[in-house]
Structure 1
Amino acid sequence: MTRTPELIDVLVADATPVRRLRPPAARAACWLLFAGLVMLFVGIAHGVRVDLALKLHQPLFVIGVAAAMTTGVLAAVGAFIASVPGRSRRWLLLPAPAALVWVATIGYGCLTSWVSIGPDGMSLGETARCFATLVLVSVPLSLVMLIMLRYIARLSPGPVTMAGSLAVAAMTAVALSILHPLDATAMILLWNLGVAALFLSVSGRYGQRILVWLTRG
């Protein structure tokens, strides 16, 4: 039987250096920079809504976009801080106040024109382009967030990945508000909350499996 000192020597001899993760604030800043670049590229390709200048003079619109962006920033920061072993999970509550304001002011989006009738008959309306924007923004942000949080795969990742998903949903909502012109009331609330609920439910149900798979890869 191998004695304990010998086992320790063997483990130490075979150990490889472990690269420390960057500080949570730095990782959050990197993800937010990536999110900004994605939104910039999509905005250049799509173009902003034609009435954006007018909307920027409407306090409710400005507050809603600012609250969504703040929610995304704070959710990302909270997720990366809480992903560090030993850090309090209370950091995950960091975006809660901004999220409440965001939910209270949601009233903008593109669910009002699923189908438009033109001279050539039925055609997809603005919501088809809205859905394309949603995919182009949310998919890369979600993948990068999962990759950056993969090291918490075995440390009860559910709440952390849910906070990361909230960050993705909030930043996606910002992109939709800036790029698409159609307004709605109760229906857009269902749209944005549906996006957030989808991210949160998928991450809560499959987050650990996905993160374990990413860690193995």
Structure 2
Amino acid sequence: MLNEELIKTLAENCAPVRPLAHPARRALVWFAVSLCYVAIVVAVMGVRPDFLAKIADPQFATELAAAFLTSIVAAAGAFSAGCPARPIWERFAAGVFLLVWVGALAVGCWRDIDAFGVAGLLSHSDIYCLPTILGISIPAALLILSMVRRGAPIAPFVTIGLAALASTALAAAALRLSFRQDAAVSVCIWQFGSVVLLTGIASLFGRVLLHWTMRDALIASFQAHRR
């Protein structure tokens, strides 16, 4: 009976809304706009001088492609998490490309060991990567946040985590296109590590950034109607 009353209240008091586009389509829109921004950032910072030689390296090409694919699939997952009828697996599809990214980095570490011995694993501090990735990712993060807020915040922590992963993975790819830093452990710790850290921190603010104000208003309206 309670459900029937709630449905009746919603039908009488809620204005018609325009359905959201498919999560994949919204992700493509976000990615296209963000990619244009990233292209400008890379152009300003300058493309690494050995780019043509590096992109011919399967390990580097795989790493770069995995970062871009992680970004767009994580964005699609974030939009999917705001649609109650979408399959749960869509929220975790980005994990496949994240694992490919990790695998490419692991291959890089192995190559460094093979070429330089254990000394190839030694990493110098590239702490600048964290603020750089954060700075590059902010505009893309604000854009995807404005887009995911149009959905239903039924999984706020996952949604914000995926949105942050999408933005920071794209920023990390931009960094690889500009900065000539190829020590595998440095890339793994300071660039990939920054992506993981920023994603984890952002996800903690899921409920703050995606507070379901409409739900609270509907509950209050329903309770008032019952009285």
TM-score by length of structure 1 reads 0.76
Helix, strand or coil for the counterpart of 1:162? helix
The residue aligned with 1:119 is none
Helix, strand or coil for the counterpart of 2:137? helix
Are the aligned partners of 2:81 and 2:154 in contact in 1 as well (CA < 8 Å)?
Answer: no
**Cα drift, residue 135 of structure 1:** 3.7
User: 15-24 or 134-143: which moved more?
Assistant: 15-24
The residue aligned with 2:119 is none
User: 75-84 or 48-57: which moved more?
Assistant: 75-84
RMSD: 3.1
Where structure 1 has 5 or more consecutive residues not aligned to the other structure, the ranges are 115-126
**Cα drift, residue 112 of structure 1:** 4.4
User: What amino acid maps onto 2:63 in structure 1?
Assistant: G
1:32–1:201 CA distance, 2 compared to 1 (3 A) = same
1:93–1:132 CA distance, 2 compared to 1 (3 A) = closer
Are the aligned partners of 2:72 and 2:166 in contact in 1 as well (CA < 8 Å)?
Answer: yes
**Cα drift, residue 132 of structure 1:** 6.3
**Cα drift, residue 170 of structure 1:** 1.6
User: What amino acid maps onto 1:105 in structure 2?
Assistant: A
Report how many residues are paired: 195
TM-score by length of structure 2 reads 0.73
User: 75-84 or 46-55: which moved more?
Assistant: 75-84
The residue aligned with 1:61 is 60
The residue aligned with 1:94 is 93
Helix, strand or coil for the counterpart of 2:83? coil
The reply to whether residue 171 of structure 1 matches residue 159 of structure 2 is no
Helix, strand or coil for the counterpart of 1:20? coil
Q: Once the two structures are aligned, what percentage of the paired residues are identical?
A: 31
**Cα drift, residue 196 of structure 1:** 2.1
Are the aligned partners of 2:66 and 2:98 in contact in 1 as well (CA < 8 Å)?
Answer: yes
Matches within 5 A, 1:186-205: 186-205=185-204
**Cα drift, residue 131 of structure 1:** 5.7
**Cα drift, residue 48 of structure 1:** 0.4
The reply to whether residue 209 of structure 1 matches residue 208 of structure 2 is yes
Are the aligned partners of 1:71 and 1:170 in contact in 2 as well (CA < 8 Å)?
Answer: yes
The residue aligned with 2:38 is 39
**Cα drift, residue 24 of structure 1:** 1.4
Helix, strand or coil for the counterpart of 2:196? helix
The reply to whether residue 27 of structure 1 matches residue 26 of structure 2 is yes
Matches within 5 A, 1:135-150: 135-150=134-149
